[in-house]
Amino acid sequence: MSTTFQLDTSTSRATPTPKPRKRLTVPRIRDHKKDGVTKEPLVMLTAYTARQAQLLDAHCDMLLVGDSLGQVIYGLDSTLPVTPEMMIAHGAAVVRGSYHSVVVVDMPFGSYEASKEQAFDTAARIMAETGCAAVKLEGGVAMAETIDFLTNRGIPVMAHVGLTPQAVNVLGGYAARGRSQQEHEKIIGDGQAVQEAGAFAVVIEGVVEPIAVALTKELEIPTIGIGASAQCDGQVLVTEDMLGMFERVPRFVKRYEDIAGMIDKTVEKYAEEVRARTFPTKDQTYQPKD
């Protein structure tokens, strides 16, 4: 039987244990939308570590190892300094920690734009060294030739149009896109181009809702919204944002919990017990007769 490796959560070590492979596939994600309609929206969240992947896997159809890890994990100002090595390290961890979701890894800025050959080299390395099912890259018409080149060489591609964070310096910030007719037409054209090039799905980020709705109705491939519309074929959020790990989040984020507040209170209690010498107790120490 084909197996994957799942971390044993009953220990503190990353002990691999075989588990039957029940992972979704890229074709199944693509075919989730039939005759232009998706009955049940696809669920996607970001993941950067094996343990995080374990916790999210059962509830998601796809896990995105996003270049947002530059900001979320490394405290960088943007995604631009993220390297392929960073994506590979975290991508491999997420694959090890999951067995159900399709794992998609972002191609970082500067690793694919120069040429379609550069894109293939980067994508092939990411897939070989992580075991992921697909890569994601930003851009529409400008990247269509590259998407076609990759997909015809066995590399599934998820596209990303609208607000593209890697182009933040050209766009002039993170404001929603599509408020002008020119932008509206560009985003629609970008979506059409990536579909024709062979992308199996497309992320639509930070656009005015009518564009997201129109593009979702027009495309045969699934659209994954983030700051777009509930009418998209699926949704994705940065997990740390929706869990409430940060005080400042984009408008399109809904906080489902206040994990940062929980951590703060828990650590405060720990610090108080350490300073009062009430931790550790006999329950957490070894005695001669144990």
How does DSSP assign 16-58, residue by residue?
EEEEE-----HHHHHTTSBTTB-SS-EEEEE--SHHHHHHHHT
Mutual angle of helices 84-96 and 50-57, in 10-degree steps: 50
14-51 pLDDT per residue, tens: 555 545 558 999 999 999 999 999 999 999 999 999 99
**What separation, in Å, do the N-terminal and C-terminal C-alpha atoms of the chain show?**
43
Cβ atoms of 97 and 60 closer than 8 Å: no
pLDDT at res. 226: 96
**Could you tell me the two tokens for 231?**
């009418």
**Could you tell me the two tokens for 55?**
């916790």
pTM of the predicted structure, to 2 decimals: 0.91
How far, in whole angstroms, is CA 59 from its chain's centroid?
14
CA distance 190 to 26: 21
pLDDT at res. 2: 38
Residue ranges of the chain with pLDDT lower than 50?
1-5, 11-12, 18
CA distance 235 to 98: 19
The backbone torsions φ and ψ at residue 160, rounded to the nearest 5 degrees and listed phi first, read -150, 115
The backbone torsions φ and ψ at residue 177, rounded to the nearest 5 degrees and listed phi first, read -105, 160
Residue with tokens 């959560």: 9
pLDDT at res. 14: 53
Mode of pairing for the β-strands spanning 234-237 and 157-162: unpaired
**Could you tell me the two tokens for 277?**
């010498």
pLDDT at res. 178: 59
Nearest of 41, 46, 43 to residue 63 by alpha carbon = 46
Residues forming the active site: 205
pLDDT at res. 3: 42
